[in-house]
């Protein structure tokens, strides 16, 4: 099966893609294009999958760079392939030939570009990272590299949608403690449960950061098991582990 790569007209002509699970070598619960080195999948199979992504991005595997994601607001500036993965959740560069990548399985993969300035970025933004400011930090790091804030485009890829993201009252309280206005990203669920709009929250943070354009591809990871991995779906199904989707962008 060939790779399935979701793209956005807003990021063309830059090479980029939100890769689905189709076209990979993994099997079992990981069936498809599992690119997560932190999963319990066979490391040599993950390497094959990542090699296919690198080829699709037009780079060698060592030029497909990522970070050790920790649900933080930390951003690293990359100028060359990495010997070791730094602990962070976003990366930016102005170096042609590097493909910046992030891994997700419900969290938001966000690709950024200012094509005029030749600066790109990629961020992993779950609820914690988004609340702590990883998206704004990525924009600021791009500006430090010469990007113009009003020329930056950001696209949120496949992520968990509001209808599938049920949370408890303490989760809501965490957001309201930051800003009571954040209540608008929650809808009433069953009983005392709420439904959180992660991509809606991400889009709001991006627009508040003053960038030129922000959008979501409108793909839900939870509801489409054939195309996407989902941590939450795996948890509900009581499966042992789950695969990780990859998103990448290159100059």
Q: What is the tens place of the pLDDT at every residue in 156-206?
A: 999 999 999 999 999 999 999 999 999 999 999 999 999 999 999 999 999
pLDDT (0 to 100) of residue 77: 97
Q: Does the pLDDT at position 234 exceed 90?
A: yes
Binned at pLDDT 50, 70 and 90, residue 240 comes out as confident
Report d(CA 19, CA 26) in Å as an integer. Answer: 14
- Which CATH entry fits the domain spanning 5-159+218-250: 3.40.50.10210, 3.40.50.800, 3.20.20.70, 3.60.140.10? 3.60.140.10
pLDDT the model gives residue 171: 97
Residue 1 has pLDDT above 80, yes or no: no
For 24, residues 6+ apart whose C-beta sits below 8 A from its C-beta are 3, 31, 32, 33, 34, 35, 49, 52
Q: What is the pLDDT of residues 121-156, one digit of tens each?
A: 999 999 999 999 999 999 999 999 999 999 999 999
Domain residue spans of the chain: 5-159+218-250
Span 106-125, average pLDDT? 98
The pLDDT of residue 38 is 86
pLDDT, tens digit, 9 for 90 and up, residues 10-63: 998 899 999 999 999 999 999 999 999 989 999 999 999 999 999 999 999 999
């Amino acid at each position: 099966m060939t790779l399935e790569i979701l793209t956005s007209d807003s990021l063309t002509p830059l090479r980029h893609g939100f890769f689905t699970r189709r076209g990979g070598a993994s099997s079992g619960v990981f069936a498809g294009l599992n690119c997560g080195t932190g999963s319990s999948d066979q490391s040599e199979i993950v390497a094959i999958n990542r090699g296919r992504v690198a080829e699709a991005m037009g780079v060698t595997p060592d030029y497909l760079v990522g970070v050790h994601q920790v649900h933080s607001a930390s951003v690293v500036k990359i100028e060359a392939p990495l010997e070791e993965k730094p602990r962070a959740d976003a990366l930016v560069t102005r170096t042609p030939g590097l493909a910046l990548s992030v891994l997700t399985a419900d969290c938001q993969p966000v690709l950024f570009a200012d094509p005029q300035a030749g600066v790109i970025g990629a961020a992993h933004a779950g609820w914690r990272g988004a609340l702590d400011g990883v998206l704004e930090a990525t924009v600021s790091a791009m500006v430090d590299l010469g990007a113009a804030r009003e020329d930056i485009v950001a696209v949120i890829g496949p992520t968990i949608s509001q209808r599938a993201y049920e949370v408890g009252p303490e989760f809501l309280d965490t957001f309201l403690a930051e800003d009571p206005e954040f209540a608008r990203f929650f809808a009433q669920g069953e009983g005392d449960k709420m439904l959180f709009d992660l991509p809606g929250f991400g889009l709001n943070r991006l627009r508040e950061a003053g960038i030129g354009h922000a959008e979501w591809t409108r793909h839900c990871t939870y509801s489409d098991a054939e195309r996407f991995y989902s941590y939450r779906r795996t948890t509900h199904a009581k499966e042992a582990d789950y695969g990780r989707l990859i998103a990448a962008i290159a100059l």
